Structure 1
Amino acid sequence: MNRAPYKIVAVLALLPLASCVTVKTPEKPIEINLNVKIEQEVLVRLQRDVDTLIKSNPDAFPTKPSGNPQ
């Protein structure tokens, strides 16, 4: 059985659908928000500064309670 006529009919039936696809550029510019990354960098830097400050002044920031606990 020859299937060539069916293939031609299928192609001709789908041909009008090919012209329906359109690609448009957006009217508004694409905005990428990078605040999360910037905040993380600031927090890491602040944490390093605090660690350095605590290590350089151990009496100001005791890690063990002083005196007699009651």
Structure 2
Amino acid sequence: MTGGKKAASAVMAMVGSAALSGCINLEAPDEPIVIELNINITQEVIYRLAEDAEEVIEENADIF
């Protein structure tokens, strides 16, 4: 592109973005936003050691 075409493209981009900026309106709601979160987290950890495993641990106490 030549310098003139680049400038023209830049001007067109600015005009296009300026046209779009007038279309956006932000307005706060009249009432507050309420977010209700009902979260129930239950964690259950159960350790079960079979009799066989207990015997192996007792027999090999030096490695445990």
- Give the alignment's TM-score, normalised by structure 1: 0.41
Larger proportion of helix: 1
